[in-house]
């Protein structure tokens, strides 16, 4: 029971951990002083695992990105933007397991005719969603990528925590953006 409690606490800490920025890349010729406006690429979702709240959650990301771009004096427009922002999302359901051992799970199983047997096996202790979010900022006129960042983390199960998580992820990415926020 003690091990199960430790595993449960570890899962909770992992789930509450901040998203991790994995990769940030800026094109060598990128000069963001030339750009004043931006817009988002149209997002197309594919796959059979798309949830009913997908568009709402993408909206949280777009709102957080727009806030970061606004802090850097870029203006969102509907037509003829200088920059286009592409959002890439990949989410996978992960199953957390543990291996049973004789000390904690050593119950014999009765197999019939006085045959008792115990064997180590893997048992499920939890499920969580792990995701990666990639942001590409592209020169709209040249269709050339200027900046990209990828972040990965465990997604909250509680839907009320999704907006804060999206904001935290986008803020972590934009800390490494070449244009600093204007206070």
In this model, does residue 143 exceed pLDDT 60? yes
Bridging pattern class, strands 37-40 and 122-139: unpaired
Cα→Cα distances 47→92, 109, 114, Å: 11, 42, 51
- Sorted by where each starts, the structural domains of the chain and their CATH numbers stand as 2-94+127-174 (3.30.160.670)
Q: Is the pLDDT of residue 7 over 60?
A: no
The dihedral formed by the CA atoms of 146, 84, 33 and 24, expressed in degrees to the nearest 10: -40
Give the residue ranges of DSSP H helices in 19-138: 54-71, 102-105
When comparing pLDDT for 1 and 145, which is higher? 145
pLDDT at 157 over 70: yes
Q: What is the pTM of this model?
A: 0.73
Q: How many residues does the chain have?
A: 183
- The partner residues of 137 in beta bridges, in order of sequence, read 85, 147
């Amino acid at each position: 029971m003690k091990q199960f409690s430790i595993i449960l606490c570890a899962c909770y800490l992992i789930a509450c951990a901040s998203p991790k920025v994995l990769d940030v890349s800026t094109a060598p010729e990128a000069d963001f002083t030339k750009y004043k406006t931006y817009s988002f690429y149209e997002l197309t979702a594919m796959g059979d695992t798309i949830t009913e709240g997908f568009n709402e959650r993408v909206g949280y990301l777009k709102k957080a990105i727009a806030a970061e771009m606004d802090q850097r004096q870029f203006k969102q427009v509907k037509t003829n933007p200088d920059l286009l922002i592409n959002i890439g999302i990949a989410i996978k359901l992960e199953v957390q397991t543990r291996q049973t051992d004789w000390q904690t799970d050593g119950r014999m199983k009765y197999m019939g005719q006085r045959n008792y047997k115990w064997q180590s096996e893997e048992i499920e202790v939890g499920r969580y969603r792990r995701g990666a979010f990639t942001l590409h900022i592209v020169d709209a006129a040249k269709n050339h990528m200027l900046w990209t960042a990828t972040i990965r983390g465990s997604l909250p199960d509680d839907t009320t925590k999704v907006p804060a998580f999206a904001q935290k992820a986008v803020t972590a990415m934009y800390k490494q953006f070449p244009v600093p926020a204007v206070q």
